[in-house]
Amino acid sequence: MWAEKYRPQVLDEIRDQVEIVERLKKFVKTKSMPHCLFAGPPGTGKTTASLCLARELFGERYMDAYMELNASDARGIDVIRTTVKDFARISTISQVPFKILVLDEADNMTADAQHALRRTMERYTETCRFILSCNYSGRVIEPIQSRCALFRFARLKDEDIQSHLAEIGVKEGVKFDAEGLKAIVTISEGDMRRAINTFQAAASTGKKVDEKAVFHVVGRAEPRDVAEMLLLCLGNKFTEARSKLRKMLIEYGISGQDILKQLHTEVFQIDLPEKRRIQIAEVLGEVDYRLAQGADEEVQLSALLAQIASKSAGEE
């Protein structure tokens, strides 16, 4: 995958995030660092920054002193605790007196698990530095935030993404034009990984990557079915709307909550009487709550569709 192949290897290669890179370089120089909290949207370089930092601190055999752990993959705080214990216990022979443990998606941990994590961080603070990465720092409990240096990763600038894509394109010998890259950049919304993946998918056809090719790929990888489903149900084609819903949920594996989010956006964009929008928003909220209780996604969402259809039919 190009996203991995063209991942920056040293801090200087990282696009954008200038201040972050500067601060990280200081850590390398002094061979010391605090616990860190990397916050920012996906694809902005959080993992890359930790990898580069580790490589520069520990040298080529950095993998001995560096470990990644995913909060969502590791089952429960106990697993994390044991892993941390085992990892931190064995010291390295490197000049750097600590190891780095990256805990990804830390904001997905429950508050209780985070408190447990805090204690673990304290216990091994001598031998192990934590880099917690998350999308929203607000979801990380205060005691942890206060123990970490906060780094905010911003969405990448369009021109940085575009130049990176162009470099990749040349190295891979891909035919592309500026419009094609621009389309990718717009769609990616500052997410480098998404941009590179889209580029690779578009290039895989073997044809020139132009605007059309990009939209073709994106249209399939990120189905715009929500809008279509909404139109079907406003046109009183309920059964078809439900089939579409079913397809999204089951075949594309999109979560009910995600569909709700998209519906929420759509409801304020499509042609509807203003009052209806807010009525539908209320129903959306109710359905969201029900889904959180564990109700069946398709059943609840199709009840929602039936309501939208009925409300708009009553308007005519």
Partner 1 sequence: MKILPASWTQRYRPRRLDEIAGNKDAIAALKDWLASWVATPPKRRAALLYGPAGTGKTVSAEAASRDLGFELVEMNASDKRTTASIERIVGIAAEQRSLTGRKRVILLDEVDGIDPVSDRGAVETIASAIERTNWPLVLTANDPWDPKLAPLRTLCLMIQFKRLGLRDSIPYLRKICTAENLEVEERALRFVAERNSGDMRSMINDLQTLSAGRSKLTYDDVLWLGWRDRKESIFQVLGSIFNAKTCAWARKAADLVDIDPEMLFEWIYENAPAQFSDPKDREIAFEALAKADLYLTRMRKTQNWSLLSYALDFMTAGVAMARERTKPSWVKMSFPERIKLKGKMKRESGLKVEIGRKISLRCHISKAGAIQYFIPYLKQIFKNNRGEAERISRWLDLDEGMVKYLSGRRSEQVRDVAPSGVEFTEP
Task: Provide the binding-site residues for partner 1, judged by CB under 8 A.
Answer: 1, 3-4, 42-43, 47, 51, 68, 70-73, 104-105, 193-194, 197-198, 200-201, 204-206, 217, 220-222, 236, 238-239, 242, 246, 250-251, 253, 290, 293-296, 298-300, 302-303, 305-307, 309-311, 313-314
In the complex, what is the shortest distance from the CB of residue 109 to partner 1, in angstroms, rounded to a whole number?
A: 12
Q: In the bound complex, what is the minimum distance in angstroms from residue 7's beta carbon to partner 1?
A: 8
Residue 110 structure tokens = 């429950």
Choose between 146 and 243: whose C-beta lies nearer to partner 1: 243
Instruction: Work out how close the CB of 295 gets to partner 1 at its nearest, in angstroms, rounded to a whole number.
Output: 5
10/123 with CB nearer partner 1: 10
Specify whether the CB–CB gap between 188 and 161 falls below 8 A: yes
Nearer to partner 1, 7 or 35 (CB): 7
Give the DSSP per-residue string, 6-67.
T--SSGGG--S-HHHHHHHHHHHHHT---EEEEE--TTSSHHHHHHHHHHHHH-TTGGGTEE
Residue 123 or 155: the one with the smaller Cβ distance to partner 1 is 155
Q: Label the pairing between strands 66-70 and 148-152.
A: unpaired
Nearest approach in angstroms of CB 303 to partner 1 is 4
Closest distance between partner 1 and the C-beta of residue 309, in Å?
Answer: 5
Q: CA torsion sign, 154 to 155 to 158 to 162?
A: positive
Complex with partner 1: residue 125 or 238, whichever CB lies closer:
238
Q: Which is nearer to partner 1, 96 or 254 (CB)?
A: 254
Whole-number minimum distance, CB 41 to partner 1, in Å? 12
Q: Minimum CB separation from partner 1 for residue 126, in Å? A: 26
How would you classify the pairing of strands 35-39 and 128-134?
A: parallel
Torsion on CA atoms 72, 78, 82, 87, rounded to nearest 10: 30
Closest approach, Cβ 105 to partner 1, in A, equals 6
Do 144 and 170 contact (CB within 8 A), yes or no?
no
- If the CB atoms of residues 141 and 201 are measured against partner 1, the closer one turns out to be 201
- Name which of 68 and 123 has its Cβ closer to partner 1: 68
CB of 233 to partner 1, least distance (A): 9
Return the number of the residue (70 or 127) whose C-beta is nearest partner 1: 70
